[in-house]
Amino acid sequence: MGKKKIKKKEVIITGFGGQGIVLAGRILGQAAALGDGKESTLIQSYGPESRGGACNTQVIIADTFINYPYVKHADILVCMSQGGFDKYIDQLTDDGILLTDQDLVQLPKKSLKNFFTIPATRIAEELGRKMMANIIMIGFLTAVTQVISKKAAKSAVTESVPKGTEKMNIKAFSKGFDHGMAVLKGKEKKASGKTGAV
């Protein structure tokens, strides 16, 4: 019997200070470790100034012990700023998944294989809280990548956001998750249309 392949996902979430990038990484890592019973590590870094400066968080999720906490090659890259996209796009693996805030990141003309976009900041503004774009993105990431379970993600969001804002943040998470499911469904339809399936 062949050896079971150990599953490991390396994730980079990037944007600018003030977008809640580190909180998004913490929620992802917490959902994986506490909710889904996996191993996870979190590394965060800021640019010269935190609010408005470049910011990223690196999360590794694995079935077994993680020896090295830094992301070498991202399996999932989440970009909430153009600067973050430009800086980290080359670290995305060939079959990696790219998620972007469609109003904040201009994609290059060259074709990218696995990419998904969501107007996270716009949806957050419609909900009356621009600061919740990161939670919307976590919902979107959960649906599209399934790197964490929906149950674990919702639980981590509830435990990580300021007291009294849980309900609002779960609503934001659900908006992102639903958008992700709709996008996946759309891609599936497109793919089956190409193959001539009815």
Residue 177 lies inside a defined structural domain of this protein: yes
Does any domain span residue 126? yes
- Quick check: is 83 in a domain? yes
**Residue 1 belongs to some domain of the structure:** no
Phi/psi of residue 126, each to 5°?
Answer: -65, -30
CATH code: domain of residue 29: 3.40.920.10
pLDDT tens across 57-75, in order?
Answer: 999 999 999 999 999 999 9
For residue 23, is it within any domain? yes
Which DSSP category does 130 fall into? Answer: G
CB atoms within 10 A of CB 87: 15
Q: How confident is the model at residue 198 (pLDDT cuts 50, 70, 90)?
A: very low
Residue 79 scores a pLDDT above 90:
yes
pLDDT tens profile 17-41: 889 999 999 999 999 999 999 999 9
Domain hosting 106: range is 8-194
Is the pLDDT at 168 greater than 60? The verdict is yes
Characterize the bridge pairing of strands 54-62 and 39-46. antiparallel
Of residues 192 and 197, more confidence is placed in: 192
| Closest C-alpha to 148, from 76, 49, 73 | 76
**CA 125 remoteness from chain centre:** 19
* Contacts for 89 with CB less than 8 Å, ≥ 6 apart: 77, 79, 98
Instruction: Report how far residue 180's alpha carbon sits from residue 178's, in angstroms, rounded to the nearest whole number.
Output: 5
CA 146 – CA 47 distance, rounded (Å): 30
Q: Give the pTM.
A: 0.91
Higher pLDDT, 51 or 147: 147
Amino acid at 93: T
Judge whether 29 lies within some domain: yes
**Residue 53: its pLDDT value, please?**
73
**Mean pLDDT for the chain?**
90
Q: What was the pLDDT predicted at 189?
A: 83
Query: What is the total count of domains within the chain?
Result: 1
Contact 139, 180 (CB under 8 A): yes
Query: Is the residue at 121 inside a domain?
Result: yes
Give Cα 91 distance to the centre of its chain. Answer: 15
